[in-house]
Structure 1
């Protein structure tokens, strides 16, 4: 299928915006034109992780398949809206549809920017809004956060009692205590800094840096290749982290902040899957685990407690490092990050509800 194939002149509908070709996309195989355009687009992306590129690849392939099915060589604005309707008919969720449509919009924006086309027919493409009501219960209250943190101590006490009954070695006792300190610090960091599990997994000791008398953690966010974002570390969380680090020996800056304590992966990096498993176990221990409560709920709790504590929507967006295209402007200013008080507000809310 040739996306830019010439078509006989026909009367166009007034409402349908058509491509105006300024130049040809580089190609070595006219029958594979759309694939080459797609590859050129991906090669021009910078600062995205392989997983993000894979996502764009999947989304755009879906779009190309739709064009082939409909035998569309020169899409119109109406064709693009028809694609949105097609996704809906396929039973895609609103969140998935939004991702697919944004991928198409970004691709057409790139085509215009490169001067291949005169106008962007995807500008007014209707992007379905995600129904946030479905996430209404997907967060923890301050009380539930404390119940989860208390579950760390409860689990530790149970394990110590069992170890003493078995007459376990001192090294086993130390591992139980170290694991409890690790898990407590990790969960507190996740909820007071709004970290994702993958960000916890990627964190190194050297990512902790003091700036202007405040402690920050530099994180590699979702879909990023570098640790170019930073989050505040609240005082109580800072204390928990350093209390845990005091148990570590011969640590280097490149060592994981929260390593594994398992026999098979001693001192190795915890995977995001392992972080999920650990947190979920404490949810179960605390008796709050449901279908709508997951480790990502800690990040939702971060935002919810901030808003309930009186922080503005803009302040919360800065603290959350939101990746929405419409809100990126809130994350471009260093001063916003330095003055943001999200970590401290959540930390105080948790302490007051203990």
Structure 2
């Protein structure tokens, strides 16, 4: 097999190792397959200059936000490619697209928030990843936490304050977990169901569940991917809506899903 054939095989291996839903894998796979077609036209495996040339090619036919998605996926692939020892990181330092300054994250309507929870609830009955994602989205919607705060959360950070379940967090700019958010009984129940099914001693509150990353902390990038995929499932596929939108949603609606969650 030539180098380029092996390159395509490596892309397939990379996609299959993702702890994400199948349609997200297909989306990422499609973007990397397009990049592989570009690579087929090169005399050798791509260099940084080739990746930059590919970005310019994308710019000629795609919106800035779409080009940005492609570059983010390619950079993620090359980080893994380099770490696994397959070769140099040809995408290192390659910048994406500048999004216009008037680009703002949107918050969800109450109807859309409930629809999002409904969809997450459906997945929860199918797998432990579904249970994790249901608890994750409910936590984000009801507390307005940042993804980095969720990433840093450990199982032992759940405690009581005045007979109320809380989650201690390390806020932005802090170096200690000296603040907390209240957990409604319903949201705590979802977290508890997820932890009971895990039956492990891993420290992080939310973890990966596929090899070779089983038991590792769920990072902000994966948290964002989980939310984006669930949003797409309910028909919201717009760069203005993201994991950060759930923070805006919690603030704008002052959303307390204690009652509505049962209905969802």
Scaled by the length of structure 1, the TM-score of the pair is 0.43
Relative contact order (alpha carbons < 8 A, sep ≥ 6): 1 or 2 greater?
A: 2
Q: Distance in 2 between matches of 1:196 and 1:232?
A: 15
Question: How far apart in 1 are the matches of 2:180 and 2:153?
Answer: 11
Correspondence 1:248 to 2:198:
yes
2:229 pairs with one of 271, 281, 298: 281
After superposition, give the CA deviation of every residue in 1:177-224 in whole Å (9 maximum; x if it has no partner): 111111100110011011111111110000000121100100011222
Match of 2:239 among 268, 281, 291: 291
Q: SS of the residue aligned with 2:206?
A: coil
**Could you say which residue in structure 2 is the equivalent of 1:347?**
257
List aligned pairs for 1:158-237, cutoff 5 A.
Answer: 177-237=127-187
CA–CA distance in structure 2, aligned partners of residues 295 and 219 of structure 1: 18
Q: Shift of the alpha carbon at 1:226?
A: 1.1
CA shift in 2, pair 1:156/1:247, >3 Å: closer
1:262 shift after superposition: 2.1
> How far off is 1:155 after superposition?
4.7
Between the aligned partners of 1:242 and 1:352, the Cα distance in structure 2 is: 16
8 A Cα contact 2:124 2:131, kept in partner: no
* Alignment gaps of 5+ in structure 2: 1-101
Residue number among 138, 144, 167 corresponding to 2:112 in the alignment: 144
Q: Supply the RMSD in Å over aligned alpha carbons.
A: 2.2
Deviations 1:131-158 (A, max 9, x none): xx975x710112211221222244567x
Equivalent residues of 2:107, 2:248 under 8 A apart: yes
Q: List 4+ stretches of structure 1 deviating above 3 A.
A: 153-157, 348-354
Q: Offset at 1:348?
A: 4.3
- Give the secondary structure class of the aligned counterpart of 1:265: coil
TM-score computed with the length of structure 2 as normaliser: 0.57
When residues 348 and 250 of structure 1 are mapped into structure 2, their CA distance, relative to the original with a 3 A threshold, is closer
